[in-house]
Amino acid sequence: MMSNRNTPFVTVDMIIEVSGGIIIIERRNPPYGWALPGGFVDVGESLEDAARREAKEETNLDLEDLCQMHTYSDPKRDPRFHTVSTVFTARGLGKAQSGDDAKNLKIVGHEELLKIDYAFDHKQVVKDYLRLRESREKSSTK
Protein backbone atom coordinates (compact mmCIF):
# COMPACT_ATOMS: atom_id res chain seq x y z
CA MET A 1 0.00 0.00 0.00
CA MET A 2 1.21 3.48 -0.84
CA SER A 3 1.40 5.92 2.05
CA ASN A 4 1.61 9.23 0.17
CA ARG A 5 -1.99 9.72 -0.94
CA ASN A 6 -4.30 12.68 -0.93
CA THR A 7 -7.25 10.65 0.33
CA PRO A 8 -7.64 8.14 3.17
CA PHE A 9 -7.75 4.40 2.59
CA VAL A 10 -11.17 2.77 2.99
CA THR A 11 -11.24 -0.28 5.25
CA VAL A 12 -13.69 -2.55 7.03
CA ASP A 13 -13.46 -4.31 10.38
CA MET A 14 -15.78 -6.99 11.70
CA ILE A 15 -17.03 -7.97 15.11
CA ILE A 16 -17.84 -11.60 14.40
CA GLU A 17 -20.05 -13.12 17.07
CA VAL A 18 -19.73 -16.84 17.68
CA SER A 19 -20.65 -19.17 20.52
CA GLY A 20 -18.49 -18.07 23.46
CA GLY A 21 -17.76 -14.49 22.37
CA ILE A 22 -16.21 -12.77 19.37
CA ILE A 23 -13.29 -13.60 17.09
CA ILE A 24 -10.06 -11.64 17.25
CA ILE A 25 -6.98 -12.25 15.13
CA GLU A 26 -3.28 -11.96 15.73
CA ARG A 27 -1.81 -9.89 12.91
CA ARG A 28 0.93 -11.41 10.74
CA ASN A 29 1.99 -7.98 9.43
CA PRO A 30 2.75 -4.65 11.15
CA PRO A 31 1.30 -3.24 13.22
CA TYR A 32 1.51 -6.52 15.14
CA GLY A 33 -0.84 -7.58 17.90
CA TRP A 34 -4.46 -8.60 18.34
CA ALA A 35 -7.14 -6.96 16.24
CA LEU A 36 -10.60 -7.39 14.85
CA PRO A 37 -10.64 -9.13 11.47
CA GLY A 38 -10.68 -6.65 8.61
CA GLY A 39 -8.84 -5.06 5.75
CA PHE A 40 -8.86 -2.80 2.74
CA VAL A 41 -11.82 -2.38 0.40
CA ASP A 42 -10.91 -3.26 -3.18
CA VAL A 43 -11.79 -0.99 -6.08
CA GLY A 44 -15.26 -1.93 -7.36
CA GLU A 45 -16.20 -3.67 -4.10
CA SER A 46 -18.95 -2.64 -1.67
CA LEU A 47 -18.22 -2.33 2.04
CA GLU A 48 -20.45 -5.35 2.70
CA ASP A 49 -18.68 -7.48 0.09
CA ALA A 50 -15.29 -6.43 1.51
CA ALA A 51 -16.43 -7.42 5.00
CA ARG A 52 -17.55 -10.85 3.78
CA ARG A 53 -14.34 -11.39 1.77
CA GLU A 54 -12.01 -10.30 4.59
CA ALA A 55 -13.90 -12.44 7.13
CA LYS A 56 -13.56 -15.48 4.87
CA GLU A 57 -9.87 -14.82 4.15
CA GLU A 58 -8.86 -14.20 7.76
CA THR A 59 -11.21 -16.47 9.74
CA ASN A 60 -12.67 -18.96 7.23
CA LEU A 61 -16.15 -17.88 8.40
CA ASP A 62 -19.16 -16.80 6.41
CA LEU A 63 -21.17 -13.92 7.86
CA GLU A 64 -24.86 -13.84 8.72
CA ASP A 65 -26.90 -10.79 9.80
CA LEU A 66 -24.22 -8.34 8.66
CA CYS A 67 -24.99 -4.92 10.14
CA GLN A 68 -23.06 -1.63 10.06
CA MET A 69 -22.16 -0.51 13.56
CA HIS A 70 -20.10 2.68 13.15
CA THR A 71 -17.45 4.35 10.98
CA TYR A 72 -14.14 5.37 12.58
CA SER A 73 -12.11 8.10 10.91
CA ASP A 74 -9.54 9.51 13.34
CA PRO A 75 -6.48 10.17 11.14
CA LYS A 76 -4.30 8.63 13.89
CA ARG A 77 -6.27 5.36 14.19
CA ASP A 78 -3.75 3.49 12.01
CA PRO A 79 -0.03 4.26 12.60
CA ARG A 80 0.82 3.57 8.94
CA PHE A 81 -1.49 6.06 7.23
CA HIS A 82 -4.97 7.61 7.37
CA THR A 83 -7.71 4.98 7.13
CA VAL A 84 -11.47 5.28 7.42
CA SER A 85 -12.99 2.05 8.66
CA THR A 86 -16.60 0.98 8.75
CA VAL A 87 -17.15 -1.61 11.46
CA PHE A 88 -19.74 -4.33 10.99
CA THR A 89 -21.24 -6.81 13.40
CA ALA A 90 -22.28 -10.27 12.20
CA ARG A 91 -22.69 -13.85 13.28
CA GLY A 92 -19.97 -16.20 12.06
CA LEU A 93 -20.94 -19.42 10.30
CA GLY A 94 -18.57 -22.34 9.79
CA LYS A 95 -15.36 -23.50 11.46
CA ALA A 96 -13.07 -20.64 12.51
CA GLN A 97 -9.43 -20.93 11.47
CA SER A 98 -6.81 -18.30 10.77
CA GLY A 99 -5.76 -17.54 7.21
CA ASP A 100 -4.38 -14.80 4.92
CA ASP A 101 -2.58 -12.20 7.08
CA ALA A 102 -4.07 -13.54 10.32
CA LYS A 103 -1.27 -15.40 12.12
CA ASN A 104 -3.64 -16.77 14.74
CA LEU A 105 -7.19 -16.32 15.99
CA LYS A 106 -9.09 -16.87 19.18
CA ILE A 107 -12.59 -16.54 20.56
CA VAL A 108 -12.76 -14.10 23.45
CA GLY A 109 -15.68 -13.93 25.86
CA HIS A 110 -17.38 -10.55 26.23
CA GLU A 111 -16.16 -10.17 29.82
CA GLU A 112 -12.52 -10.61 28.70
CA LEU A 113 -12.54 -8.31 25.65
CA LEU A 114 -11.31 -5.15 27.40
CA LYS A 115 -8.37 -6.97 29.04
CA ILE A 116 -6.58 -7.31 25.69
CA ASP A 117 -4.18 -4.83 24.09
CA TYR A 118 -5.28 -4.25 20.50
CA ALA A 119 -3.69 -2.84 17.37
CA PHE A 120 -5.19 0.32 15.86
CA ASP A 121 -8.16 1.81 17.75
CA HIS A 122 -9.81 -1.58 18.21
CA LYS A 123 -10.04 -1.29 22.00
CA GLN A 124 -12.31 1.76 21.49
CA VAL A 125 -14.29 -0.16 18.86
CA VAL A 126 -14.76 -3.04 21.31
CA LYS A 127 -15.85 -0.62 24.06
CA ASP A 128 -18.43 0.90 21.70
CA TYR A 129 -19.64 -2.58 20.71
CA LEU A 130 -20.04 -3.68 24.33
CA ARG A 131 -21.92 -0.48 25.19
CA LEU A 132 -24.25 -0.96 22.19
CA ARG A 133 -24.75 -4.64 23.07
CA GLU A 134 -25.60 -3.77 26.67
CA SER A 135 -28.13 -1.11 25.62
CA ARG A 136 -29.78 -3.56 23.19
CA GLU A 137 -30.03 -6.20 25.91
CA LYS A 138 -31.60 -3.69 28.31
CA SER A 139 -34.15 -2.54 25.75
CA SER A 140 -35.09 -6.11 24.82
CA THR A 141 -35.85 -6.99 28.46
CA LYS A 142 -38.28 -4.10 28.87
Q: How large is the greatest C-alpha to C-alpha distance in the chain, in angstroms?
A: 51
What is the Cα 19 distance to its own chain's centre? 17
DSSP code string of 106-124: EEE-GGGGGGS-BSTTHHH
- How many domains are contained in the chain? 1
Residue 56 lies in a domain: yes
**Domain region containing 115:** 9-140
- Domain contains 34: yes
Q: What is the CATH number of the domain that holds 74?
A: 3.90.79.10
Determine the pLDDT at residue 139: 84
Domain presence at residue 1: no
The per-residue pLDDT for range 60-102, each reduced to its tens digit, is 999 999 999 999 999 999 999 999 999 999 999 999 999 877 8
Please, which pLDDT band fits residue 142 given cuts at 50, 70 and 90?
Answer: low
Q: Evaluate whether residue 76 is within a structural domain.
A: yes
Residue 2 in domain: no
pLDDT at 39: 96
Of 23, 12, 19, 15, nearest to 48 (Cα)?
12
Residue 137 has pLDDT above 90, yes or no: no
Residue 94, C-beta contacts closer than 8 angstroms, at least 6 positions apart: 60, 61, 62
pLDDT in tens, 2-34: 556 789 999 999 999 999 999 999 999 899 999
The pTM of the full predicted model, rounded to 2 decimals, is: 0.92
Indicate whether 1 pLDDT > 70: no
